[in-house]
Amino acid sequence: MSEAKSTKPAGSDLEERRTVRGRQRGDRYVRIVRPAQREFERKDAGHLVATEQVLAPTTAPGRFVDGVRRVLLGARIPTSLELGERIGKVKGLAVFASDNISSSAYATEEIMRVLLLAGLGTMAALTLPITLAIIAVLAIVVVSYQQTIGAYPNGGGSYIVANDNLGPFPGLTAAAALLTDYVLTVAVSIAAGVAALTSIFPQLFDMRVALGIAFVVVLAVGNLRGIRESATIFALPTYVYLVAIFGLLGYGLFRFATGTLPQYTAPSEWSLQETVGPLGILLVLRAFASGSVALTGVEAVSNGVPAFKRPESRNAQVVLILMGSFFGVIFLGMSFLAGQLGIIPDPTEQETVVSQLTRTFVGNGTPYHYLVQISTALLLVLAANTAFADFPRLGSILARDRFAPHYFQFRGDRLAFTTGILVLALLSAVLIVAFSGSVTALIPLYTVGVFVAFTLSQAGMVRHWWKLRATQRGWRWRAALNGLGAVATAIVALVVGAAKFALGAWMVLVLIPALITLMWAINRHYRTVEDALTLDEPHGTLPRRASPRVLVLLARLDRASLEALAYARSIAPLVTAVHVTDDPTEGERIRARWRSLDIDGDTDLVILESPYRALIPPLVAYIDALQKQEPERSITVVLSEFVPRRPWEYLLHNQAALRLKLRLFFRRNTVVIDVPYHV
Amino acid sequence: MSEAKSTKPAGSDLEERRTVRGRQRGDRYVRIVRPAQREFERKDAGHLVATEQVLAPTTAPGRFVDGVRRVLLGARIPTSLELGERIGKVKGLAVFASDNISSSAYATEEIMRVLLLAGLGTMAALTLPITLAIIAVLAIVVVSYQQTIGAYPNGGGSYIVANDNLGPFPGLTAAAALLTDYVLTVAVSIAAGVAALTSIFPQLFDMRVALGIAFVVVLAVGNLRGIRESATIFALPTYVYLVAIFGLLGYGLFRFATGTLPQYTAPSEWSLQETVGPLGILLVLRAFASGSVALTGVEAVSNGVPAFKRPESRNAQVVLILMGSFFGVIFLGMSFLAGQLGIIPDPTEQETVVSQLTRTFVGNGTPYHYLVQISTALLLVLAANTAFADFPRLGSILARDRFAPHYFQFRGDRLAFTTGILVLALLSAVLIVAFSGSVTALIPLYTVGVFVAFTLSQAGMVRHWWKLRATQRGWRWRAALNGLGAVATAIVALVVGAAKFALGAWMVLVLIPALITLMWAINRHYRTVEDALTLDEPHGTLPRRASPRVLVLLARLDRASLEALAYARSIAPLVTAVHVTDDPTEGERIRARWRSLDIDGDTDLVILESPYRALIPPLVAYIDALQKQEPERSITVVLSEFVPRRPWEYLLHNQAALRLKLRLFFRRNTVVIDVPYHV
């Protein structure tokens, strides 16, 4: 105390004062570096930089866990290496386009499934026109997004564009739509990937839910390793898929051109009752809605611009164009050939349309059949990775804007957003289980969110060009282009929402407002807290407070309580020990032992008799009474807490301490200190 | 500090010193009573007695919860009123004999179900002889237990008797057997009670699991109210059942004697295939084993002796004799009449044998049929109460002997052992769900435990008389009587274990050793801890320790951190603020703001740069380095913890603090202090 008082009031030359004091006392941070040179480098006085050594585990189980972690996730990456974690066009196409291109594995099939309800003839006649309509929308969206990428080189996800140009509410709507969409991307892509596998390995069909979960786990681990390495994983299957499928389509078109199309017959065990329903406009719209899953994944590229190597925008734009072109060609070719062959979707969802198409051309179980199916499966499962890149990134942006819990911003050892990855993995696994891994059951939930986000993003771009009208040349045609995109996607959003409402779209339409409300509430909370916590400027001198009134709760007189008592006496001059009991004679026994302990100085014992056996209420009442006497002095309650050697032993101790802490946590001006006692 | 030092060394005349100091300072416990006269009565200096006022809730939701609690559980009872909570013979029969007497509702039926496997003729022929054999065992056990009650007026449960006379291992075996048995008593009795109800209200059959759970909840609440009131609830149904069932049996025997037995026909919808299996000795033994559920509940009386009014032993002995006689008569009459009428057990378990018997005599749906069924149901559900009295009592005895977690000893506001009641309710509810509320499925698990406990208890009594052979007259015949009981029950235990092994008894035979191991481990843990904690005598003077080295973890510079800083400075002269960051420029920003804060005295700021973004390892490494410099000085880490207004908001804060506390809890010589900040 006397030392503190003798210190001169804080002046400007802090550095000098510190060194002097450091020399005087010899027990301060200035000298701390010497015994810890491996753990810290000294930058200047009071600024130490931790080395990787501080993360080294010191126990045998710790070393084992650390070893497993390194094998699974790789070595740690310091923040300063972040810029190096970028990808070029070739890897970029693999990472960001896999989501979109992989939709070609099920888009045609989902259109056909809906049209089949109106009969085989209708299906054969209408699949191709609906495919063309969807490709037209895709073209509009790709062109429209070229501008978004140019205007938002730091990542132009729908949330950012809508938030920037239309305000926080449309921004949050886009964010909520995208979050649900990313979860569904993982669930649908993985379910479709598993379906591609069960097409060639029917014996796996009964395990499809377990397989789906396994793929989710693999993806989560891969993404916790960080983005560059996941790109390496993805590059190969994407290109193998492209080569294999273009080869198949080319061969198919050659057979068609030469008039030598092979004969297709549906397996006889499919009990295809020709129950021809009426072909209404609603059915056509539902087919269109099902097929528009083809547009999912376009967002991914514009969202991920900063992950590209320089020039980021240019690379991203090229990838987007390539993606749209590749996908359009595959989708069109697939729908055309399926129609020409007269393929029928499997009612049991065991074999996909792509598999039927492939084996009709190259034969069942041939190496090429295996090549197409396995690369499709890999592409689909890995396409889910797009969501694993985007969901955590959007989560971190929302957390930065305080619409999500702040730990969505924390990055792990490998620069990946750990929380977002884990939350996405959990939610998508739940969806796969809930819908038994069926693509057709999941599709109606999908795409509503995507098109809501598209619409808000394109509408935001229109506003963007309007704001830049003074400086930007050609703002009119730019705004018109984005306006066309907004109108087209708004129409699709309405069609999907209406046509699929009863089939599951309603869940998403309920979930999005719920998510918006939640994010809004989180934001309001953080703002309230910040208002309450921010310091007024300029600040005064921080005064020294009087030492707190310290109560030590003695359950009995043993080494643990004496440890707590000794600690209490080391932090405050006046300490009172309190013993609560329902047995007056036991209280007297404690008092007698207390006397024999010969505790010096200002430490007294108070026995609180509690005839109703309650521990906490009498103690709180006693604290209240103390506080009433001296309202300005804070109260500190010291508890001795037993530290067991094995975790299960914790159940045998400390329950009362836990309840007391919970009770006093909400009491103002009260601090509870656990003094751990190690046996 | 100076005040503490000026105090004279502790002398003998503590009382006087305290008063003097109290007067000097005026802020100590001696004056505390005045502002808190409603909450405390002062007994003497440093001994306050809490009034019921301290338990009064102060908030509106608190008052609501308290009101609900009072309606459900009744007013609080202070410990000093305990002796008044005793019961006489009439209520005692209702409370402690209901378990045993209620077995008459299913014992006959369970014998018949086994014998039916060997055909209708076998069943008719063998039910009565097996009933007589069981009654013979019951008579031996009742006589044998008369002596236990006399020798153990403070409660002679099997655990106590075996532990006292045979040692801790047999004691624990008996305890484990009894604990499983009590859980099964609740499950079986409630399942049978629900079956009695579905016999007259078949529409309830689909809800039998839900009904069972509801009864468990009612019983748990009733028992949390305390024993006297539960006795009042129980007296009526027990006596109504006895009157109703004796009336029925008397009428039935009259009809038999006059040769006017009514005609019984099994409902035609029971598809009774006469699949006559061979009648082996195993089947007879299984029938005997099923019927010996009749002996469950005998233990209850000798276990509950101290709950009786004085003279406790005499009252308990009378109740035991009455119980055995009543039960024997009912069981015999029931088996006899069921055989004479040719009743067949319902294969769907929807209607009980008792119900079939009753309606054959008095007609289906007549008021007397309702009377018998409803009183049977009530008696059975309430019989489960015996276990609700015994399980918590045994749990508290085990906790006293440190074989169970110590909170099994705590008693609630109404003197009931809260933990035991809740654990029993939970476990029995799980059993009812797991076995879909079927009595026949639960029976094989039952009774093994009972007879293991019987055997150990009676064998213990033999040893007891041997030890008293010098002083006790007639110890030989007493020992012989208990020896007969031990042999008889050991044989039954073997029969039940072997005959029912594959049907479920194996679960109990696995569970009992597991429980013994667990209780043994708990005991060893508590003994180790006590050895480590007990103070050596005589004690020295408790020294004053040096004040701890205090680190304040600053996440940012806001009101909450300044609060933590102010607290830290109030408990120790030297305080170091630590800021961990992965961004060196952010560290410099914090340092600049720190300087502008103008914090006086010996409080410095250290920036710990963590390039791998980890928070805890660099901090722990820094603490290690500090500790190495001054090993004898303890380290205290002060955190500011945000107190949210709504519980869900807690998820948005404090995660890092929680992880840090967990990490430092296991570090020696380190105390973590949360300074709560209330907005």
Please give the ipTM for the structure prediction: 0.70
Q: Are A10 and A3 in contact (CB under 8 A)?
A: no
Partner residue opposite A569 with nearest CB, options B35, B544, B675: B544
Is the bond leading into A538 cis (omega within 30 degrees of zero)?
yes
Burial of B429 (0-12, 13-18, 19+ CB in 10 A): buried
In B550-676, which ranges are continuous DSSP H helix? 559-571, 584-597, 616-629, 655-665
Q: Which spans in B119-207 are helix H?
A: 120-151, 158-166, 168-200
For residue B615, list chain A residues with Cβ-Cβ distance below 8 A: none
Please give the pLDDT value at position A69: 67
The secondary element (H helix, E strand) that includes residue A187 is helix A168-200
- pLDDT tens digits for A3-62? 333 333 333 333 333 443 444 444 444 444 454 567 777 777 777 887 777 777 766 667
In this complex, do A673 and B678 lie within 8 Å of one another by their Cβ atoms? no
Structure tokens at A274: 């020709």
Q: Within a 10 A sphere around the Cβ of A596, how many other Cβ atoms?
A: 13
Q: Nearest residue of A to residue B573 by CA position? A: A1
Percent of chain A with pLDDT over 90: 28
Whole-number CA gyration radius for chain B = 33
- How many angstroms from the chain centroid is the CA of residue A266? 43
Tell me the average pLDDT across B296-322.
85
Å from A433 to nearest chain B CA?
24
Rounded distance, CA A602 to CA A577, Å?
10
Q: What is the band of A252 on the pLDDT scale with cuts at 50, 70, 90?
A: very high
Cβ of B670 under 8 Å from any chain A Cβ?
A: yes
Q: Is A76 on the interface with B (CB under 8 A)?
A: yes
Tell me the residue type at A446: Y
Interface test with A, best of B14, B49, B595, B651 (most A CBs within 10 A): B49
Q: Is the pLDDT of residue B540 over 90?
A: no
Would you put residue B213 in left (φ > 0), alpha (ψ -120 to 50) or beta?
Answer: alpha
Look at residue A16 in the predicted model and tell me its pLDDT.
38
How far does A77 lie from chain B, in Å, by closest CA?
A: 7
Q: What is the mean pLDDT of chain A?
A: 83
Inter-chain CB pairs, A–B, below 8 Å:
387
Please indicate whether, in this complex, the C-beta atoms of B626 and A602 are within 8 angstroms of each other.
no
Q: H helices of B225-311, where?
A: 227-257, 281-291, 298-303
The closest alpha carbon to B142, from B178, B180, B100, belongs to B100
Contacts of residue B595 in chain A, CB cutoff 8 Å? 14
d(CA A327, CA A147): 20
Exposure letters A343-371 (e unless 16+ CB within 10 A, then b): bbbbeebbbbbbbbbbbbbbeeeeebbeb
Other C-beta atoms closer than 10 Å to the C-beta of A167 total 12
Written as one letter, the residue type at A36 is A
Q: How far apart are CA B595 and CA A14, in angstroms?
A: 8
- Among A439-448, B62-71, B323-332, name the most confident range: B323-332
Both structure tokens of A397 = 């942006």
A625 touches chain B (CB under 8 A): yes
Residue B370 has pLDDT above 80, yes or no: yes
Q: Could you tell me the two tokens for A318? A: 């090229």
Extended beta strands in A105-241, E state: none
Mean pLDDT for B598-611 is 82
* CB-closest option in B14, B49, B643 to A666: B643
- Contacts of residues A50-54 at CB distance under 8 Å and 24 or more positions apart, as own/partner, are A50/B608, A50/B609, A50/B610, A50/B611, A50/B612, A50/B614, A50/B617, A50/B618, A50/B621, A52/A76, A52/B612, A53/B621, A54/B610, A54/B614, A54/B617, A54/B618, A54/B620, A54/B621
Token pair of B53, please? 């006022």
CA atoms within 13 A on the CB side of B510: 6
- The answer to whether A165 and A509 have CB atoms below 8 angstroms apart is no
How does B164-173 read in b/e, with b if 16+ C-beta sit within 10 Å? bbbeeebbbb
Residue A442 pLDDT exceeds 60: yes
CB spacing of A48 vs B622 below 8 angstroms: yes
B351: three-class secondary structure by DSSP: coil
Selected residue with higher pLDDT from B372 and B58: B372
| CA angle in degrees (0–180, nearest 5) for B660-B661-B662 | 90
A180 against A614, higher pLDDT: A180
Which one, of A319, A150, A174, lies nearest residue A235 by Cα? Answer: A319
A 10 A CB-CB count for A512 gives: 23
CB contacts, 8 Å: A573 with chain B: 1, 3-4
- Which residues 533-592 on chain A approach chain B with CB closer than 8 angstroms? 533-535, 538-549, 557-560, 562, 565-567, 569-574, 576, 582-584, 587, 591
Beta pairing class for B40-44 and B47-50: antiparallel
- Poorest-pLDDT segment among A239-248, B2-11, B103-112: B2-11
- Average the pLDDT over B380-397 and give the result: 86
Band the pLDDT of B445: cuts 50, 70, 90.
confident
The whole-number pLDDT of residue B233 equals 65
**Quick check: B217 contacting A, CB < 8 Å?**
no
Q: How does DSSP classify residue A42?
A: E
- pLDDT bracket for residue A118 (50, 70, 90): confident
Q: Yes or no: say if B180 and B451 are a contact pair by the CB < 8 Å rule.
A: no
Mean pLDDT of the A208-232 span: 79
**Mean predicted confidence (pLDDT) in B161-166:** 91
Sign of the torsion formed by the C-alpha atoms of A396, A398, A402 and A404 = negative
CA A214 to chain B, closest CA, distance in angstroms equals 29
pLDDT at B13: 39
Q: Cβ-count burial of B147 within 10 angstroms (0-12 exposed, 13-18 middle, 19+ buried)? A: buried
Does residue A635 sit in helix, strand or coil? strand
Are the C-beta atoms of A4 and A544 separated by less than 8 Å? yes
| DSSP strand pairing (A47-50 vs A40-44) | antiparallel
Element (H, E) at B433: helix B418-434
Cβ of B600 within 8 Å of Cβ of A665? The answer is no
- Say which of B9, B571, B634 has its CB closest to residue A547: B571
Residue whose C-alpha is closest to residue A245's, from A196, A181, A313, A211: A196
| pLDDT over 60 (residue B31) | no
**Chain A interface test: which of B31, B44, B622 (most A C-beta within 10 Å):** B622
Position A273 scores a pLDDT of 55
Q: Which of A398-412, A431-445, A540-554, B57-71 shows the lowest mean pLDDT across its residues?
A: B57-71
Substitution target from A33, A571, A620 for chain B, most B beta carbons within 10 A:
A571
The span from the CA of A130 to the CA of A124, in Å, is 11
What number is the average pLDDT over the span B655-669? 82
pLDDT at B199 over 80: yes
